[in-house]
């Protein structure tokens, strides 16, 4: 972010993030780490890598993203999960998620939405 602002490629007063699936998780993580983000668009985000382990395609996929198995060391899964930093997200978030998504269950967006709503109130 700092480099883009320094080079004049980004307006620091209008910073937003957007991503799809794992990219949406990254967009939320950026918003949690920077107060400069004014809004987030999260399309089918992975909210919690532990809870998504039970989804259809994720047991095999998890080993591609993480160096340890969930039952051996949960900490990398928690660190990569946006719900671990949900209390730090101050910017508005728009969630877009298909109800019949076969990769990332809709409940992942619902979980993030409910946690953000509970945090704001």
Which residues on adjacent β-strands are paired with residue 5?
none
Q: Kindly give, in sequence order, each residue whose CB lies less than 8 Å from that of residue 102, ignoring residues fewer than 6 positions away.
A: 56, 57
pLDDT (tens digit, 9 = 90+) per residue, 38-71? 999 999 999 998 888 777 666 566 667 788 888 8
| Interval 24-43: pLDDT, tens | 999 999 999 998 899 999 99
Interval 76-98 mean pLDDT = 93
pTM for the whole structure: 0.84
Helix count (H) and strand count (E) of the chain?
5, 3
Q: Which residue has the higher pLDDT, 92 or 70?
A: 92
């Amino acid at each position: 972010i700092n480099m883009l602002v320094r080079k004049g490629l980004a307006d620091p007063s209008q910073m937003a993030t957007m991503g799809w699936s794992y990219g949406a998780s990254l967009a939320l993580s950026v918003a949690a780490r920077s107060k400069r983000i004014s809004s987030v668009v999260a399309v089918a985000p992975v909210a919690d890598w532990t809870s998504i382990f039970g989804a259809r395609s994720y047991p095999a996929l998890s080993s591609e993203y993480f160096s340890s198995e969930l039952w051996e060391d949960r900490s990398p899964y928690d660190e990569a999960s946006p719900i671990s930093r949900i209390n730090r997200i101050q910017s508005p978030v728009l969630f877009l998620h298909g109800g019949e998504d076969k990769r990332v269950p809709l409940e992942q967006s619902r979980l993030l939405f409910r946690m953000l709503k509970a945090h704001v109130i």
